Every structure is written in C-alpha cells, then in structure tokens.
C-alpha cells in the first residue's frame, strides 16, 4: 500500500493549532459555540445529523447556535485525520468485526447514555474544568465505570486463562492414564505350497 510522506506533529503543536484556530473562528466569523463545546463525540455527531435532517428532509429537530448556519464537521475531520495518519504509517487495513452484534448493542447504549448526559468523555472533563456540578459528577461516574470495567475485563481474562490451563492439564493427565492398546496380530493360515504360513491365506 502506498504510504503518504511522513509528517511529524507533536501533541503540543496539534493542540496549539486547534486552540488558535478555534479562537480565530470565534473572533472573526462570529461562530460562538456553547461552553466546553470544542470537542464532543456525542454532541457533534448529533448536531451534524440534525443539521442534515433539517436541510435535506425539512425536519425541525433543532440545532445549537454554532450549527445553525453551517454543519459541525468535527467528526468528519477526526475520521479523515485518522485515515490519513493510518495510511501515512502503513496501518490502514480492513478486517472483519469481532462479535458485531455485541459491539453494536454496547455502542448504542454508550451513545444514548452520552446523549442523556449531554457529553462524551472528552467534553465531560472540560465541563468539569468549568466547575459544573453535573460535569464533576459525570467525571466521577466515568472514573468509577472505567475502574469497574477494567476489573471485570481482568477477572474475565483470568477466568479464561484458568480454564485453558485446566484444559491443558486435563488433556495431559488423560493421555498419561489412557492404557496402550495391544497390537493386533493378523491371522495366519497354512500355506500348502510351503512350510511358512501365509498371512493373507493366499498361496
């Protein structure tokens, strides 16, 4: 696969460009987003979907102020940026999804609970930094959920490892205890034409 020319961008450089760009857009284009609305993987897709539905289907789902005149394309930019980075480093490849129904259900639950909260994990940290009580509580719940989920994944991994070890040990024990079968001797028949018996019975 053809790789793009290498471009090294540090986290500081990326954050500096994003911050200055957001400030310039807000100052010169009068695009004023809600508080702590710079990056949100729940609100921005929702607003993009609402904008498309309102302009293409004639619905009135409503949008935030920043998404009235133009769609919020943050998610599109992140997807395109991730694609470019993957191609640049030769890591882009398609593969079949593992447990697609399970991941669809969990993703559906995550995005809908995020809509109830009104934030994704990134925005809830920014909202907490603003001093919002909902943001602080949501951030605390995020930490508790991450710790509980990690503990559950570790417990499941340990259980699977124990089951595999037990299966291997059981297989070794049964293979040692299994009695060896006695060799089966083929019947011999007298050969009328010679002194030695013929195993097939044919002369």
- CA-nearest of 89, 90, 71, 73 to 1 is 90
Q: What is the pLDDT of residues 52-83, one digit of tens each?
A: 888 888 888 877 777 777 788 888 988 998 88
Cβ neighbours around 109 below 10 Å, total: 10
pLDDT single digits (tens) 42-51? 888 888 888 8
Closest CA to 18 of 38, 41, 44: 38
Enter the pTM of the model: 0.60
What is residue 130's DSSP assignment?
A: T
What is the pLDDT, as a whole number, of residue 158? 92
What is the per-residue pLDDT across 94-131, written as a single tens digit (0 to 9) for each? 888 788 898 899 889 988 888 887 778 888 888 888 88
pLDDT digits (tens, 9 = 90+) for 9-36: 787 888 788 778 777 777 777 777 777 7
- What 3-state class would DSSP assign to 189? strand
């Amino acid at each position: 696969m053809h790789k793009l020319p290498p471009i090294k961008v540090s986290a500081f450089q990326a954050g500096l460009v994003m911050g200055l760009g957001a400030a310039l857009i807000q100052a010169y284009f009068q695009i004023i987003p809600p508080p702590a609305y710079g990056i949100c993987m729940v609100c921005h897709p929702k607003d993009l979907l609402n904008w498309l539905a309102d302009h293409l289907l004639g619905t009135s789902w409503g949008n935030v102020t920043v998404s009235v005149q133009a769609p919020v394309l943050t998610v599109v930019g992140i997807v395109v940026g991730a694609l470019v980075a993957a191609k640049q480093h030769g890591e882009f490849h398609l593969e079949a999804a593992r447990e697609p129904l399970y991941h669809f259900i969990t993703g559906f639950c995550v995005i809908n609970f995020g809509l109830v909260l009104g934030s994704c994990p990134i925005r809830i940290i920014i909202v907490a930094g603003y001093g919002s009580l909902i943001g602080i509580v949501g951030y605390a719940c995020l930490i508790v959920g991450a710790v509980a989920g990690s503990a559950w994944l570790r417990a499941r991994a340990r259980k699977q490892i124990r089951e595999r070890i037990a299966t291997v040990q059981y297989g070794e024990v049964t293979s040692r205890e299994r009695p060896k079968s006695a060799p089966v001797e083929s019947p011999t028949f007298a050969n009328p034409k010679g002194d030695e018996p013929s195993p097939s019975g044919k002369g």
